[in-house]
Amino acid sequence: MASKVESPPYPSAARISDSSCYPQYTASLKCLEQYNSEKSKCQEFFDVYKECKKKEREARLERNRHRSLFS
């Protein structure tokens, strides 16, 4: 009997690994690991990741700006 391969519940949802901000994300996690989850020591990494996500979101909005839901 062949096993059924299930599709993800939200196939259109982006994975963090597909993001252009993935290196910043992993750097912030590595920092947390290095400093035993002491967030104050990793604030710079968080800020860089947050700025990257902001730019990524702005670029996505700009790409979708002229799209219509009704076309």
**Residue 18's pLDDT is what?**
86
pLDDT average, residue stretch 1-15: 57
**Residue 16's pLDDT is what?**
79
Backbone angles phi, psi at 26, to 5 degrees: -65, -35
| 68, pLDDT greater than 80 | no
pLDDT in tens, 15-56: 878 889 999 999 999 999 999 999 999 999 999 999 999 999
C-alpha 52, offset from chain centre? 9
Minimal CA–CA distance to 42: which of 58, 60, 27?
A: 27
Task: Quickly tell me which residue has 């730019």 as its tokens.
Answer: 55
Q: How confident is the model at residue 4 (pLDDT cuts 50, 70, 90)?
A: low
